[in-house]
Amino acid sequence: MRSIGALVLPAVLLVTSLGADPASAQSPPQAEVAKKFFGAWRYVGTWIDGKPRAGRGANPKGMIYYDPSGAMAAQIAPDRHVKMVGPEPTPEEAKAALADYVAYFGTYTIDERAGTVTHHRQGNVQPGDRPDLVRSYEFVGDRMILRPVGSKQEVVWERFK
Amino acid sequence: MGAVQVSGHSKSEVAQRFCGAWRYVGTTVDGKPRPGRGANPKGLIHYDPSGYMSVQVAPDRERKKAGNTPTPEEAQAALVEYTAYFGTYTIDEKAGTVTHHRQGSVQPGDAPEVVRCYEFAGDRLILRPPGTTHEIVWERIK
């Protein structure tokens, strides 16, 4: 965390100086970037090495939301029907329901210099995940592309209108 | 039918009040805290001006997995009392209800639609399943 120079809590524009880095001062450009995140985005898809990510079916749906307060939430539901025999899922049904479903929420911070957004998860349906998720971000037209740092994966979102 | 599609430009005052993000305060049944979610469950509901919504409530308990992917038993434990769904929403002002039209839900077997009576009280939004004594309380995130 020490290497992060400009941590921005959007809207509140709380700039956290985690080291003695004078460059981490509050400035308007940070606010501009934060504003680009604000609002809700529809899941378009995930590509790995340019190919669609397997495991979520033909038409997975999802949304991600960045609140000006610094709160965020993400969900992706695979395109499949999980059947349930009784009123509560059996262990096997639960495993099928959980597979490839993304559902977490928490807060987020933006490191403009690194070009990354970090999701600090407070709740996550997937057990055992680490709390923080770092993604490189890119805005292209109405789309936001999030990339796990150091991977060839692209998670594409499109702004709801 | 009186249902208002929450899109377009002429948003009513009620529709505008829904818009934004709300933090989960808690659920009561008959005035008593609903059991099963631990001491400090967290959650967030979001109503977008575009007509989309999402909600999550996470129980307050440790969630473990031993390996890379959860075992069936770990998955079953992970799903217990976790709410996670999203979709669109419509408001029926005359009935005083909001309907969540689910497009995705982590809980298998969920009905596609959820109807809730709504009440705004200060910074809070109270949602009640019709015909129950349940109250799900949300507080606007500022």
Q: What is the pLDDT of residues A19-77, one digit of tens each?
A: 333 333 333 445 788 999 999 999 999 999 999 998 899 999 999 999 999 999 999 99
A10: pLDDT confidence band, cut at 50, 70 and 90? very low
The answer to whether the Cβ–Cβ distance between B142 and A69 falls below 8 Å is yes
Instruction: Please give the model's pTM, rounded to 2 decimal places.
Output: 0.87
The whole-angstrom distance between A148's CA and the closest CA on chain B is 18
| Of the listed ranges A103-107, A128-132, B93-97, the one predicted with least confidence | A128-132
**Which residue in B72, B77, B105 is closest to A92 by CB distance?**
B72
Predicted local distance difference test score (pLDDT) of residue A26: 38
- Longest CA–CA separation in chain B, Å: 52
Backbone angles phi, psi at B66, to 5 degrees: -85, -40
Who's near B35: CB < 8 A, 6+ residues apart?
none
Tell me, what's the pLDDT at A81?
86
Query: The domain A38-159 is classified under which CATH number: 2.60.40, 1.10.10, 2.40.128, 1.10.260?
Result: 2.40.128
Distance between CA atoms of A50 and A136, rounded to whole angstroms? 17
A positions 61-80 inside 8 Å of B (CB): 61-63, 65, 67, 69, 71, 73, 75-77
Q: Over range A89-103, report the average pLDDT.
A: 96
Domain ranges for chain A? 38-159
Domain B3-140 CATH (choose: 3.30.465.10, 2.40.128.280, 3.90.1150.10, 2.40.30.30): 2.40.128.280
Rounded to whole angstroms, the Cα distance separating A106 from A86 reads 32
